[in-house]
Chains A and B, each alone.
Chain A
Amino acid sequence: MEKRESLWEAYLRRGLSRRSFLKGCVALTSLMGLSTDMFSKVVEAAETKPLPVVVWIHGHECTGCDESFIRSASPLASDLVLTNIALEYDHLLSAACGAPFEAHLDETITKYYGNYILCVEGAVATKESGVHCMSGGHTFLHTLEKAAKGAAAIIAYGSCSAYGGIQAAAPNPTGSTGIEHFVGGKPVVKVPGCPPIPEVMTGVVMHVALFGTIPPLDGDGRPKQFFGNRIHDTCYRRPFFDAGMFAETYDDAGSKAGWCLYKLGCRGPETYNSCGNLRWWQGMSYPIQSGAACIGCSNSNFWDEAPFSARLPQYGKIGDADKIGVALGVMTAAGVGAHAVASIIQRNSRDNLLEEEHDDK
């Protein structure tokens, strides 16, 4: 393997100053969700670690995650792709195409076997041997298994590669599912979201690139620093929830005043993501801030949890839970009442019978 340059060497080659390198490292430290006392370690890693080779493949999906990724501002996606990582293969961002491009994937896998980071977007289509998702003449399942074998770390970007995504919605005709069970038992860093927040995408790959280890994960395999909090618990509209101030419809005064969207079906209380603290587009906004209830797009089964516009008691396939509860309660009470009447009748006839027997004697 030829010598690969580190981030610092890449800066030197471009004639950039030490100062801008350190500023870049500060930005990296904060975007990876690390505390500032980790700064020296980040600098050390950026000076010595060779730029990581990244192979980025796409499966059953809409490539919306890439749309999100290329809008990352800190670091700029262009900086990341051109300077911070060695992106050897990417279905979507590559200029090359055709047979040489496919051959390059094989070359990269052989050349950097055991050393490259594999980023996966999109679900695996499992039905009919995977023919529902093909690229370069192979099923995605084939490409994934081939690329996963030699990967040092695997990052699953988007709800599709993490859990199956929209195409896995019932009845799931293509048998789509997350990549977890098709990578030969290797740990997968899940970065769910439809799409994930751009800075979260760049932050996770930079963590793996700089430290050579996967970031601390929760029980579901999601990086704790980005998925450790509910949107509800970090939401700027939380005071309205606590005070009991809710928008009842999308066009009422509460909605205009920016009150809590809980009653409009907001999934914030069940959704783990950084929307509440990082927000989108350099902290500009996120769905709830723009007045739309969260649909929980980073949840493992959000696509089948319709309607997005309702929470309990309306939520659910069998109707309003409280109406069903009241109906069952009334039926139980009626049943109990009827049973009481029948019991009294039974007792009276029993007593009469006993009396008759008594009289006969």
Chain B
Amino acid sequence: MKSVKEVKRKEYYIFSPFLRIFHWIMASQIVILFITGLLITKPMNVSTTEPFFTITSMDLVRDIHFTAAFILCASLILRVYGFIVNKGDRLFPRVWEGHFYEETVDVALHYMLLKPHHASFLRNPLARMSYAALYGLLAIEILTGFAMYFMTNPSGTGGLLFGWVNTILGSEMMSHYVHHYVAWFIILFAIGHMYMVIRAEFMEGESEVSSMFSGKKILAHTPKDANELD
């Protein structure tokens, strides 16, 4: 193996700073939300004899959870802005295009280890579908979360905007239930996501990890969807 090789590579600019900042805010807030969420569901018992402020106080844990939730929701503005100004940020699965389905099958067969390789993509169709699913899960968390949060005052604006979620799910207890299980599904997504990203970086020569820091992919091969950026 030579340590220095001369390889011709092309640079593709995909992710705007807005998407990248959003991505890392989301990732960090999900970690905070998940940990505090587990603590709210099953609180630690403070072994004191009088109620006073401690670092594990339920009040504080809940406040951190709510603050993280609001930060996550606010950061969605960055995501939307990036979507508007930068073509590379538009990651919705292109289900309206015929070739999307063939490409999905192609990639899926490779991931099932039935085919030795798949065509290279800047943003591959299966990954796009998993992101759409993640946004779906996030939407459920936001809806059920606010439905529980705002019902301290059911006739307030927040209660009117989100109270219907409890009605649709049958009861507020169900909102807690759905909120909790979907949180776990987001963690499952995160495990799969991290694996797929690292796998693509190391096994398929895609600059998948670095692109979420630099916004660029520097590739030796020509990805199939390169023309979508024009």
Binding site for B on A (CB under 8 A): 218-220, 224, 228-230, 233, 239-246, 248, 254, 257, 262-263, 267, 269-270, 272, 296, 299-302, 305, 311-313, 315-316, 321-322, 324-325, 328-329, 332-333, 336, 339-340, 342-344, 346-347, 350
Contacts and interface: CB of A to CB of B under 8 A. Distances in A.
A342 B180 CA distance: 33
B84 interface: no
A101 to B, nearest CB: 39
B180 A245 contact: no
B166 to A, nearest CB: 9
Nearest to A296: B173
A239 B51 contact: yes
Q: Which 3 A-B pairs have the closest CB atoms?
A: A243-B51, A325-B184, A242-B59
Contacts of A342: 113
B43 interface: yes
Interface in B152-197: 152-155, 163-164, 167, 170-173, 176-177, 180-181, 183-184, 187-188, 191-192, 195
Contact of A270 (B45, B53, B172): B172
A316 B54 CA distance: 31
Contacts of A316: 177
Given A244-B56, A321-B177, A329-B184, 16 more contacts: A218-B155, A243-B53, A244-B45, A244-B59, A245-B46, A246-B45, A262-B43, A267-B173, A272-B154, A299-B173, A305-B173, A312-B41, A322-B38, A322-B41, A342-B113, A343-B203
B49 interface: yes
A315 B172 CA distance: 14
Contacts of A243: 46, 48, 51-54, 57-59
Contacts of A329: 184, 187-188, 191
Interface string B84-127: 00000000000000000000000000010100110000000000
Given A263-B43, A322-B38, A350-B116, A315 B184 contact: no
A152 to B, nearest CB: 25
B170 A328 contact: no
Contacts of A311: 41, 176
A305 B170 CA distance: 11
A11 to B, nearest CB: 35
A277 to B, nearest CB: 14
